[in-house]
Amino acid sequence: MKKRFSSYIDQLQDRISSALEEIDGAARFQIDNWERPGGGGGQSRILENGGVFEKGGVNVSKVYGQLPEPMKAYLKVEQGDFFACGISLVIHPNSPLVPTVHANFRYFELYDNNKEVVDQWFGGGIDLTPYYLFDEDVVHFHQQCKSVCDAHDPAFYQTFKDKCDRYFWNTHRNEARGVGGLFFDYCRASDERSIEQWFDFVTAAGDAFLDCYTPIVNKRKDLPFGPEQRNWQELRRGRYVEFNLIHDKGTLFGLKTQGRIESILMSLPPAVQWKYNVSPAPDSEEERLVRVLQKPINWIKQ
Amino acid sequence: MKKRFSSYIDQLQDRISSALEEIDGAARFQIDNWERPGGGGGQSRILENGGVFEKGGVNVSKVYGQLPEPMKAYLKVEQGDFFACGISLVIHPNSPLVPTVHANFRYFELYDNNKEVVDQWFGGGIDLTPYYLFDEDVVHFHQQCKSVCDAHDPAFYQTFKDKCDRYFWNTHRNEARGVGGLFFDYCRASDERSIEQWFDFVTAAGDAFLDCYTPIVNKRKDLPFGPEQRNWQELRRGRYVEFNLIHDKGTLFGLKTQGRIESILMSLPPAVQWKYNVSPAPDSEEERLVRVLQKPINWIKQ
């Protein structure tokens, strides 16, 4: 399973970075290989100042060794070795009319002292952060998420959609980071589902990423926008930073366990503003976005 | 003491905001009064898009009531009422040649069920975050800090300077947020020093703020700079955001205890950039700054 998922994320990284380069048309991903002192390493692929994408990272990491202290505490295990691998991506487009997207698919193994696997699970998800709402884009995104889920379990979509809304919640602002998508974690073998079946689901979700996102990019990337819309995008990106640095478990965990800082913080947007007490004009598109973020809705009629 | 310090911070807020407006020459502080549902409130004064200052806040808050849960846990008390008041300021200048400054002076009282004061203490500090190093400016700033300290105790400066270096440390980057200054907390009455003497020290530190900072602003505000220096400033401001959102106890505490979000986050810089894996050119001024931040030094020859 370790090998299977490990090769899967490598080829997914290739597929996604090629497809995004093709859409971008101007910039290429720069490849950065890094090693982890305690064992393992990864490959970061970063694109900056592109024709369509202002900053994007499509990163793979495969790390192993002794469990770092904060991970022991978090997982409530006394000791042992671990293996973790995953692909993590965040794309910040130039245009405020094209949403930011984030996806992550990961696999974790825990070993006992005889190097036997004592626990293994998948986690991950995909979510969208628009700066302007095109309802049909959000519906498309959620519809793609739902199709992947429905092929595996009719309960998945609603469960993982709700988890996503709960997870990407900026508590201190009382609003969602974006319009959600899917979020799942600790997907372990059970009577109902083997680890192979979870592999099938998680890789199907990975395979769906480009179908979720690229049609939206293609539809909106050439629309004209003005400096006020760009301004709004940079202000809202501030909320993205707030979520990632204050609340996101993955980010904080990575920082605590001496992960590779630049690969972790590649998620931060390229240009961001904070102004005091900004509130959008009544009945504006900006206000509509905020209203929707304050109360997550079901985008797909059941 | 509650009343004395409370009036002190009001007049200090007046003095500082007037002096900064005078230097700025273009923008005025906007006054925002707010109330805290659990008791108390505050006055935020925010200046944006000024002639010299891009964004600055000089805020006073005076809050009281039942201790919120996270505060009980933090202070290790079971229950009780509290009173807390303080002045907090952060100034982000336009020019990358003028440093950002932060100062905070606060007083805290804890009560038992009979409303008797069972604990009281002062805290606070002042620290400087330059984007380009003018050694004489940093020496001036520390010299002013030292003069205030020396008038009260010959051990204060080194103790509070070291605490400041330790506190404003971006662990995940292994570097200081800035070039430090003073940091003190839990300054309680003892055999050596009454609470009145702490009041004298803390208000002397507050009184010294303008002397610490404004000569530096006046000296550097009209120096020419280019887009590359502005770029560097915005990138370094990213580290300021990282510290405040990941590590700063005051910020995280405020967010947890449902403080007034906009007043807490006024500390975040107006325009910020994150680029992947930036490293300054060898032997550049930018590299010298990073080197100094990685290993705090004593700016004043003893």
Residue A299 in domain: no
Kindly state whether residue A247 falls inside one of the protein's structural domains. yes
pLDDT in tens, B143-181: 999 999 999 999 999 999 999 999 999 999 999 999 999
Cross-chain Cβ contact A32/B277 below 8 Å: yes
List of chain B residues whose C-beta atoms are within 8 Å of the C-beta of residue A44 = 276
CA distance B208 to B149: 10
Domain annotation covers residue B191: yes
Predicted structure pTM score: 0.94
Structure tokens at A275: 């102004």
What H or E segment, with its residue span, contains residue A223? none
**Nearest chain B Cα to A273, which residue?**
B271
CA–CA separation, A179 and A136 (whole Å): 12
Catalytic residue positions of B, numbered: 102
d(CA B177, CA B241): 10
Is A302 among the domain residues?
Answer: no
Q: Which residues of B touch A275 (CB under 8 A)?
A: 48, 55, 270
Flag if A261 and B55 touch (Cβ within 8 Å). no
- Given this model, what pLDDT does residue A71 score? 82
pLDDT at position A63 = 93
Average pLDDT, chain B: 95
Q: How many CA atoms lie within 13 A of A243 on its CB side?
A: 21
Contact A269 B274 (CB under 8 A): yes
Burial class (CB in 10 A: 0-12, 13-18, 19+), B7: exposed
Query: Could A261 and B172 be called an inter-chain contact, meaning their C-beta atoms sit closer than 8 Å?
Result: yes
Residue B215 lies in a domain: yes
pLDDT for the residue numbered B151: 97
Alpha-carbon distance of A72 to A142, in angstroms, equals 35
Residue B254 CB contacts under 8 Å (≥ 6 apart), including other chains:
B260, B264
pLDDT of residue B67: 87
Comparing CB atoms, the residue among A246, A269, A276 nearest residue B48 is A276
Asked if the Cβ–Cβ distance from B55 to A276 is below 8 Å, we say: yes
In Å, what is the CA distance from A181 to each residue of A159, A166, A205, A299? 11, 11, 11, 10
Task: Specify if B45 maps to a domain.
Answer: yes
pLDDT at A302: 64
Widest pairwise Cα distance in chain A: 64
At residue B103, does pLDDT exceed 90? yes
**What's B36's domain CATH number?**
3.40.1500.10
Contact map slice: A 203-242 vs B, CB within 8 A: 234, 238, 241-242
Interface pTM, i.e. ipTM: 0.93
- CA dihedral (A57, A106, A128, A262) positive or negative: negative
B248 lies in which domain range? 2-294
Chain centroid to CA B169: how far? 14
Q: Kindly report, residue by residue over B78-101, the tens digit of the pLDDT.
A: 878 999 999 999 999 999 999 999
Distance from CA of A258 to the nearest CA of B (A): 7
Cβ-proximal residues to A92 (8 Å cutoff; 6+ apart), any chain: A53, A54, A55, A56, A100, A237, A269, A270
Helix (H) or strand (E) segment spanning residue A154: none
Please check the confidence at residue B13 and state whether its pLDDT lies above 80.
yes
Query: Is residue B302 over pLDDT 70?
Result: no
Residue A242 lies in a domain: yes
Q: Is B299 inside a domain boundary?
A: no
Domain tally, chain B: 1
Tens digit of each residue's pLDDT, chain A (302 residues) = 999 999 999 999 999 999 999 999 999 999 999 999 889 999 999 999 999 999 999 999 999 999 888 888 888 888 789 999 999 999 999 999 999 999 999 999 999 888 899 999 999 999 999 999 999 999 999 999 999 999 999 999 999 999 999 999 999 999 999 999 999 999 999 999 999 999 999 999 999 999 999 999 999 999 999 999 999 999 999 999 999 999 998 898 888 877 889 999 999 999 999 999 999 999 999 999 999 999 999 999 86
The answer to whether the CB of A221 falls within 8 A of the CB of A93 is: yes
Query: Which of the four pLDDT bands, split at 50, 70 and 90, describes residue B76?
Result: confident
**What is the rounded CA–CA span in Å between residue B235 and residue B274?**
6
